[in-house]
């Protein structure tokens, strides 16, 4: 075969596009379906709740006070069209929906690109006529179509609950554009960086910076122009159900397209396993914390734990600094505190009550941290990075036990970090929150977080293909169930399924010791059962 023939062979368009699309679809459909159902259900519940509970409870003066409060704008964005069910739903659920979709998008993008390449599963696919750029393009396309499903679900939910169709379409396009942006960011990071963990960390940093930039744009009038450089800010500027602007949507489309085009350009020029910013081929040996299985688990956890700690500290320091402003606002507008209690967030009229409600949210990131650490263990096993360890005279109980112990220690450090950060933020603005109260509120969540750790360990032993998803059920699913059950006045037994329903409002009240013991016992039982399964099953790949 001549050189010209080889070049023509490689330049020919790949005939396996549908096969690549089907392969990508099979890898993402479960997660995409779960995210779509979650954001659709959340939007529908809040829209119905507004019509049945809030519509007649908010007068013009209360809405004006809410819109003028700077702390409210920083946390949730500028309130717009709150006298409309759709506008209220977008304001209350817009940021959580966008963050959830964005996190799923970037995690899926780095997993399907750099993760598959790093594990060696792309080697065989790229041995034929398929080019690197083909794989990257199809992964981006399928993930964008999956984002379209979530966007369509949100828009359909808003239309079927009786809101204005124009606002529903605008909000659906906002969800699509924001999610597609983080798909592109994840894919681009996977082309630029040489490992999945580095690409995921960089993409998550972009999401966090985008959210922070939106907060600054809404809270500081001199920085309002920066909203045009972040998907969260552009969504706010589109103003669904208020102005329904098109220009921010066009800018959002450009923001989503630019990283995707850059990723395709890089993918076309790099080799398999290569990266623009790759680690050096050789460097000085780093032998610290390699003397034992436990020390190795600590070494593996240091960097990700530090990253989680920085993000949690920044958020809770901001929340602490806003505590006095929000409490004062709720004291002057008690109707909003009553409405928050209807949605499951009671006791917001005091600093300790506000802290208790905010700390309940802390169970989600710390629980996800625990689940992702155990999921990383399963991913390393699947990529055969743990094979040398399994060849040593070390039992699987020791290997998994070390990871679980270090993860539990990491959870404790994150809880302490959040408590300290919120206390520092609170005292900086004169809010009456004691350090002991902050620590009590944070560590009140230990049983729920341990439940997530136990669920992840259970999945590690019996269903290692879905460790992260199963580990997230107690915290993410439990929190959503708690909020939905409280908002819809569901039967008591439905509410009791959620572990959050059994948490007391610490520090404004004392802890529920009996519930804590029961939840901890369930977590220990799940952990033990997971360890038994892990010790007796075959290695998966």
Select from 228, 202, 198, 203 the least CA-distant residue to 213: 228
Return d(Cα 509, Cα 531) in angstroms, integer. Answer: 36
Return d(Cα 12, Cα 33) in angstroms, integer. Answer: 35
| Contacts for 209 with CB less than 8 Å, ≥ 6 apart | 230
**Mean pLDDT, range 273-283, rounded to an integer:** 72
Rg of the chain over Cα atoms, rounded to whole angstroms, equals: 24
**Mean pLDDT, range 342-346, rounded to an integer:** 55
Looking at residue 5, what is its pLDDT?
Answer: 41
Whether pLDDT at 15 is above 60: no
Return d(Cα 453, Cα 459) in angstroms, integer. Answer: 10
Poorest-pLDDT segment among 66-80, 158-172, 369-383, 408-422: 66-80
Are 320 and 422 a contacting pair, CB within 8 Å? yes
Looking at residue 218, what is its pLDDT?
Answer: 82
The predicted-structure confidence for 497-509, as pLDDT tens digits, reads as follows: 999 999 888 888 8
Return d(Cα 211, Cα 455) in angstroms, integer. Answer: 30
Looking at residue 524, what is its pLDDT?
Answer: 97
Q: Which of 218-232, 318-332, 445-459 has the highest mean pLDDT?
A: 445-459
Looking at residue 3, what is its pLDDT?
Answer: 40
Compare 75 and 460 and report the one with higher pLDDT.
460
Altogether, the residues listed in the chain come to a count of: 541
Select from 171, 189, 163 the least CA-distant residue to 98: 171
Looking at residue 11, what is its pLDDT?
Answer: 45
Looking at residue 471, what is its pLDDT?
Answer: 93
Whether pLDDT at 455 is above 90: yes
- Residue 397 pLDDT level (bands cut at 50, 70, 90): very high
The model carries a pTM of 0.81
**Mean pLDDT, range 222-230, rounded to an integer:** 88
What is the average pLDDT score of the chain?
A: 86
Domain ranges within the chain, ordered by starting residue: 15-278, 291-541
- Residue 528 pLDDT level (bands cut at 50, 70, 90): very high
Are 82 and 240 a contacting pair, CB within 8 Å? no
3-class SS at 274?
coil
Select from 49, 189, 175 the least CA-distant residue to 109: 189
281 phi/psi in degrees, rounded to 5? -65, -30
| Contacts for 215 with CB less than 8 Å, ≥ 6 apart | 74, 75, 318
Are 264 and 136 a contacting pair, CB within 8 Å? yes
Are 384 and 480 a contacting pair, CB within 8 Å? no
- Residue 172 pLDDT level (bands cut at 50, 70, 90): very high
Poorest-pLDDT segment among 73-82, 179-188, 328-337, 378-387: 328-337
- Residue 32 pLDDT level (bands cut at 50, 70, 90): very high
The predicted-structure confidence for 307-335, as pLDDT tens digits, reads as follows: 899 989 988 998 898 888 888 777 777 66
Return d(Cα 164, Cα 212) in angstroms, integer. Answer: 30
Looking at residue 60, what is its pLDDT?
Answer: 55
Whether pLDDT at 4 is above 50: no
CA distances from 535 to 7, 382, 398, 399, 531 (A): 51, 16, 10, 10, 6
3-class SS at 277?
strand
Tell me the DSSP string of 71-113. HHHHHH-----TTSHHHHHHHHHHHHHHHHHHHHHHHHHHIII
Select from 378, 299, 449 the least CA-distant residue to 111: 378
**Mean pLDDT, range 443-463, rounded to an integer:** 96
């Amino acid at each position: 075969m001549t050189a010209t023939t080889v070049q023509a062979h490689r330049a020919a368009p790949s005939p396996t596009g549908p096969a690549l699309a089907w392969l990508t679809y099979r890898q993402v459909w479960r997660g995409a379906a779960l995210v779509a159902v979650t954001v659709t259900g959340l939007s529908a519940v809040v829209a119905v709740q507004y019509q049945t509970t809030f519509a007649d409870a908010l007068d013009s003066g209360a809405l004006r006070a809410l819109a003028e409060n700077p702390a409210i704008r920083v946390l949730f964005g500028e309130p717009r069209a709150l006298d409309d069910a759709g506008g209220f739903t977008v304001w209350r659920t817009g940021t959580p929906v966008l963050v959830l979709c964005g996190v799923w998008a970037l995690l899926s993008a780095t997993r399907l690109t750099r993760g598959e390449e790093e594990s060696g599963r792309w080697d065989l696919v790229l041995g034929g006529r398929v080019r690197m750029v083909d794989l990257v393009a199809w992964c981006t396309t399928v993930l964008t179509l999956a984002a379209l499903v979530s966007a369509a679900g949100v828009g359909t939910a808003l239309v079927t609950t009786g809101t204005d169709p124009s606002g529903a379409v605008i909000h659906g396009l906002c969800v699509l554009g924001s999610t597609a942006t983080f798909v592109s960011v994840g894919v681009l990071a996977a082309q630029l960086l040489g490992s999945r963990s580095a690409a995921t960390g960089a993409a998550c940093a972009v999401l966090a910076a985008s959210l922070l930039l939106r907060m600054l744009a809404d809270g500081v009038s001199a920085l309002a122009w920066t909203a045009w450089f972040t998907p969260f800010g552009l969504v706010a500027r589109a103003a669904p159900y208020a102005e329904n602007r098109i220009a921010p949507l066009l800018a959002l489309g450009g923001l989503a397209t630019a990283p995707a085009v850059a990723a395709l350009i890089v993918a076309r020029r790099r080799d398999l396993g290569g990266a623009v910013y790759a680690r050096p081929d050789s460097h000085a040996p780093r032998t610290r914390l390699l003397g034992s299985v436990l020390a190795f688990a600590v070494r593996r956890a240091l960097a990700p734990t530090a990253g989680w700690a920085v993000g949690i500290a920044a958020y809770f320091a901001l929340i602490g600094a806003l505590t006095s402003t929000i409490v004062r606002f709720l004291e002057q507008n008690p109707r909003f505190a009553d409405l928050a209690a209807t949605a499951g967030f009671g006791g917001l009229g005091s600093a300790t009550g506000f802290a208790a409600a905010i700390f309940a949210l802390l169970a989600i990131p710390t629980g996800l941290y625990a689940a992702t650490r155990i999921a990383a263990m399963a991913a390393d096993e699947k990529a055969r990075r743990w094979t040398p360890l399994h060849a040593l005279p070390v039992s699987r109980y020791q290997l998994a036990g070390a990871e679980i112990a270090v993860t539990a220690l990491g959870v404790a450090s994150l809880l302490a970090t959040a408590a300290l950060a919120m206390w520092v933020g609170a005292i900086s603005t004169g809010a009456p929150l004691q350090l002991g109260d902050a620590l009590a509120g944070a560590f009140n969540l230990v049983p729920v977080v341990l439940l997530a750790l136990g669920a992840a360990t259970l999945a590690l032993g019996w269903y290692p293909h879905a460790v992260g998803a199963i580990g997230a059920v107690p915290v993410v699913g439990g929190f959503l169930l708690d909020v939905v059950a409280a908002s819809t006045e569901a039967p008591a037994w439905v509410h009791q399924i959620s572990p959050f329903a059994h948490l007391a409002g610490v520090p404004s009240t004392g802890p529920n010791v009996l519930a804590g013991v029961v939840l901890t016992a369930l977590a220990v039982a799940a952990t033990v059962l997971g360890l038994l399964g892990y010790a007796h099953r075959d290695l998966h790949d």
